[in-house]
Amino acid sequence: VMDELAADLIDQTPPEFDLFAYEDRFPTMYGESRNTVVKQEAAKYNRLLAKLHVELPLFRRAVKGFVVMTDDLESVGKGLFMNTVPEGWGGVGFLSMKPLTSWYKDLNLRIDFFNM
């Protein structure tokens, strides 16, 4: 069950932002401080997306017995089982009291907003 949920989340995880393209699209200028904030937020979401792209496939491999189940991967499994955001993801991502499924939908909406 957790393996299937992890596979679904892998499919739903968007790719990381191209920060070099963001530099071209939102140049750092004194008159446009919003550009700096947008780039900082994109970098913050990149850290979260990178963590998701690493931990979800690793968790699937750990469930199958191919790699050792670390504390971080166990936290991912606990979050998947109990529908809560794993501690490692919440620490890197945005603050939310939502269950994991709603949190993931919210993450995708936030990423879509930045891709406009």
Question: Residues 9-32: what's their mean pLDDT?
Answer: 89
Per the CB < 8 A criterion, the answer to whether 116 and 101 are in contact is: no
pLDDT tens readout for residues 4-14: 999 999 999 99
pLDDT tens readout for residues 54-80: 999 999 999 999 999 999 999 999 999
Binning pLDDT at 50, 70 and 90, where does residue 24 land?
A: confident
pLDDT greater than 80 at residue 116: no
Long-range contacts of 43-49 (CB under 8 A, 24+ apart): 43/17, 43/19, 45/17, 45/93, 45/110, 45/111, 45/114, 46/16, 46/17, 46/19, 47/92, 48/89, 48/92, 48/93, 48/94, 48/107, 49/13, 49/14, 49/15, 49/16, 49/17, 49/111
